[in-house]
Structure 1
Amino acid sequence: MPRIPQPDLSALDAARARQLQLTKPAGSLGKLETIACQLASLQGREIPLPLSPAITVFAGDHGVCAEGVSAFPQAVTGAMVANFVHGGAAISVLARVNQARLEVVDAGVASDLGGLPIIHAKVRAGSGNLRHEPAMSREEAQQALNVGRDAARRAIAEGATLLIAGDMGIGNTTPSAALICRLGGHAPALVVGRGTGVDDAALAVKCQVVSDALARVAAQELDGVALLAELGGLEIAAMAGFYLEGAAQGIPLLLDGFISTAAALAARAINPDLTPWLLASHCSQETGHQLALATLGLTPLIDLGFRLGEGSGAAAAIPLLQQAIALHAGMATFAEAGVAGKA
C-alpha cells in the first residue's frame, strides 16, 4: 500500500502567522482563513497556489435495488452517464463553469455503455444484493479500488491539484448508509434517508434492508476492503481508491455528499493516514450525512440543501476554496499597507 504523506506543519504555522498580519481582525474571514491555512499545509507552501480541480464521476449499479429502495429504476444509471457525456447534467455544467477536468468512469453499470466516450473499467455488471449476500467478492472490491486509483493517477498526470469524486448509481444511498452505520456505530434510523425521494413505505423498507445487511455481517471482523466487499458498491469502492491514491500523491480531496463521505470512511478504514487530506464541501440533506462528516471530524463549508450527488456540492464549493487562497495571497499585511495593527 502506498505511503500517505503527512501535512507540512511548518507551512501551516507560517500560513497562520501570515493570517495574523493581514489587514483585518484575526478570524474575521472565518472558514476561509481556516481553509487557506489547511491548503497551505497540504501544498507545503505558506501561500498555496490556485487550485486546478479535477472531477471524476464513478458509475455503478446495485443489486439491492431489487428490494425497492429507490424511487427510480436501475436503467437510469446508464441514461445519466450518457447525460454526463452530452453535457446536460448538473455536474457537467458545474465542471464547465469551474474550468474543471471532468471524467466519467464505468466501474460497474449493469447496462452496456460500450458506445459512450467514457473510461470503461467495469469490474462486473452491478453489485450483489447486500441484504442477502456480499455486494462483491474481496477480489472485485480490490479491482474497483484500483479503478479509482488509476483514475486519480490520470487526473494528477494532467495537472490536477484538487480531486473531487462524484457518483452515479441508482440505489447507492443504501450501501452508503450501511457503510456509515457500520463504520460510525450509528443506528440505521439515524442514517437511512429518502435518497431519490422514496415515500414513507419505501423508506421503512430501506431502513429494514440496511438493518438486515448489518445483521448479516455483525459477527464478522472486517477490514476496510472486506467492508466494501460486503456492504459497498463498485463505484463506492472506486471512489475510495481515488481518495487513497490522491492522498498518497499529496493532493487535497474535496468530499461531496452522502455517497462520497461513505467512500471516504471506507478509505479511512483501509488507511487512516488519509484523514488530513479530506476537506468537506457541503452538508447534504440526506439523513445521516452530518453524522458521517462528524465521524470523520470534518465541518462542511456550505449548506445549500443539496442532495443530488454527482460531485455537485463539491463543485459548487470550488470558488470558495479559490477565494480563500486569493485572499490569503493577495491581501496586504499591516506593514505593507501602513496600517496600525492590533495594540
Structure 2
Amino acid sequence: MARLEETLKQIQPLNKDIMDRAQQKIDLLSKPLGSLGYLENLCVQLAGIYESVSFNMEKKTVVAFAGDHGVYEEGVAADPQWITKAQIPNFASGICAVGTLAKYMKANVIAVDVGVNCEEKLEGVLDYKIRKGTSNIHKGPAMSREEAVKSIEIGIEVATKAIDEGSRVLAIGEMGIANTTPSSAIISVFANCDPKEVTGRGAGLTPEKVGHKANIIREAIALNTPNQEDAIDVLMKVGGFEIGAMAGAILGAAAYRVPVILDGFISYAAALLAKKLHEEAASYMIASHYSAEPGTVKALELLGLKAILHLDMRLGEGSGGILLFPLLDTANYLYENMATRAASKC
C-alpha cells in the first residue's frame, strides 16, 4: 500500500502556463485558428504533461498485462481459457497483432503475467503472478483487498521501470479470456447502470450469450455489493488482476509526467479505477479508439475523454492504442515544423 500511496502523492495537475504557451505557438502557425482540430489539442496536452513547449517522444512502449478469470466457468466467453497462456508470449515475440504493429513502428512491448492460469513461467513474459486467476465473481469477490492493491502496485512498478529506461509515451494493453466481463462490471458500478447497457459480445458471443453474460454480471454485483466510491473495493469485488495492473500503470505514468494511451474497452475500465484513485490521473490519459463494445461510450463519458479513432476494433492487446503512436509524432512534427504566419507568404 505504501507504494500506491506514494505514487498518488506524486501526481500533479498539468502545467497550465506551459499549455497556454503551447497554444500561443500553435495559433501563430500558418493556418486558420483551430483548423488542425484534435492534433492541436494533443500538442497542448502533451506540453502540459511534459512541462515543456517542445518535447521528445522518441521512445514508446506498450505495457501489456495478462490474467485469467474465475468467472470464465459461468460460460461468459466464446474462447477457451488456455488462449491467455498461449497468446501472451506472442506479445513479447512480436507475432500477435500488437507485437507485429510494435515491430513496424519500432516500439517496445513489455508483456507481464499477473494472473495467468498456469504453473510454468512463460517465455519472454515478466513473471509477477499474484495467483492463477481471480476467483469467480458470481460466487464471491474476485480477490482480496491485499491482492487488489498488489495488482495496482505491480502496474506502477512496471510502468515506472519502463519510464526510468527512457520511455516517453506508454500505451497499456491486456490479455485475458473473459476479461470483458469484469470490465463491464466495473463500468456498470461506476456508471450506476444496469449491466445490459454496457455488456457486449467480447470475442464473439451470440446475442443469447450476451444476455446471459449481463445476468451473471448483475448477479455478481448484487452478491458482492462493490462500493463505487472506493476503487480498490470495486477492483477487489468484481475486477481482474490485469485490470488492476493497467490502472497502476496509468497512475505510474501520471506520477512521472508521461502520457498514457488507453487501448479500448478493458483499458477504459482500468482508467476509471485510476481516475477514482486520483482525479488528475485522467489528465495524462489519451483515449485511442471507440471499441465495438457498447460500454465504451459510457466509460469515456465518465472519464471525460473523447477517443480519436473509429475503427470498429475489439481485439484488445493494446492494438488500438499503439495505432496512436504515429499520430502523436505527426501532430508533434506539424507543431514544430510548420511556418508561422509571419514567415509564410500564403
* Aligned counterpart, 1:184: 191
8 Å CA contact 2:66–2:174 kept in 1: the answer is yes
In 2, Cα distance between the equivalents of 1:141 and 1:184? Answer: 21
8 Å CA contact 1:50–1:326 kept in 2: the answer is no
What do you get for the CA RMSD once the two structures are aligned?
1.4
Match of 1:332 among 317, 331, 339: 339
* Aligned counterpart, 1:46: 53
Matched, 1:150 2:157: yes
8 Å CA contact 2:196–2:211 kept in 1: the answer is no
Q: TM-score, normalised by structure 1?
A: 0.96
Query: Structure 1 pair 21/93, CA: closer, same or farther in 2 (3 Å)?
Result: same
Q: How far off is 1:335 after superposition?
A: 1.2
* Aligned counterpart, 2:260: 253
Q: Deviations over 1:301-335 (max 9, x none)?
A: 11111100000001011111111111111111111
Q: How far off is 1:29 after superposition?
A: 1.1
Matched, 1:141 2:170: no
* Aligned counterpart, 2:109: 102
In 2, Cα distance between the equivalents of 1:95 and 1:56? Answer: 11
Q: How far off is 1:97 after superposition?
A: 1.6
Matched, 1:86 2:90: no
Matched, 1:62 2:51: no
In 1, Cα distance between the equivalents of 2:155 and 2:226? Answer: 29
Gaps of 5+ in 1: none
Q: TM-score, normalised by structure 2?
A: 0.95
8 Å CA contact 2:89–2:125 kept in 1: the answer is no
* Aligned counterpart, 1:227: 234
Q: How far off is 1:222 after superposition?
A: 5.5
In 2, Cα distance between the equivalents of 1:302 and 1:75? Answer: 31
Which deviates more, 222-231 or 299-308? 222-231
8 Å CA contact 2:190–2:228 kept in 1: the answer is no
In 1, Cα distance between the equivalents of 2:227 and 2:243? Answer: 21
Q: How far off is 1:337 after superposition?
A: 2.4
Query: Structure 1 pair 175/323, CA: closer, same or farther in 2 (3 Å)?
Result: same
Match of 2:270 among 263, 277, 286: 263
8 Å CA contact 1:253–1:277 kept in 2: the answer is yes
Query: Structure 1 pair 11/123, CA: closer, same or farther in 2 (3 Å)?
Result: same
Q: How far off is 1:207 after superposition?
A: 0.5
Moved over 6 A (4+): none
* Aligned counterpart, 1:9: 16
Q: What amino acid does structure 2 have at the position aligned with 1:321?
A: L
Q: Helix, strand or coil for the counterpart of 1:260? A: helix
Matched, 1:308 2:315: yes
In 1, Cα distance between the equivalents of 2:91 and 2:256? Answer: 27
Matched, 1:166 2:173: yes
Q: Deviations over 1:224-265 (max 9, x none)?
A: 111111110011011111111111111111111000010010
Q: How far off is 1:115 after superposition?
A: 4.6
Query: Structure 1 pair 176/325, CA: closer, same or farther in 2 (3 Å)?
Result: same
Which deviates more, 61-70 or 178-187? 178-187
* Aligned counterpart, 2:137: 130
* Aligned counterpart, 1:22: 29
8 Å CA contact 1:176–1:258 kept in 2: the answer is yes
Q: What amino acid does structure 2 have at the position aligned with 1:327?
A: L
In 2, Cα distance between the equivalents of 1:292 and 1:148? Answer: 21
* Aligned counterpart, 2:283: 276
Q: Deviations over 1:19-44 (max 9, x none)?
A: 11101111111111111111111111
Q: How far off is 1:218 after superposition?
A: 3.4
Work out the percentage of aligned pairs sharing the same amino acid: 39
Q: Deviations over 1:81-122 (max 9, x none)?
A: 132233210010111122211110000001134151210000
Q: What amino acid does structure 2 have at the position aligned with 1:322?
A: D
In 2, Cα distance between the equivalents of 1:325 and 1:51? Answer: 11
Gaps of 5+ in 2: none
Q: How far off is 1:202 after superposition?
A: 1.2
In 2, Cα distance between the equivalents of 1:269 and 1:261? Answer: 12
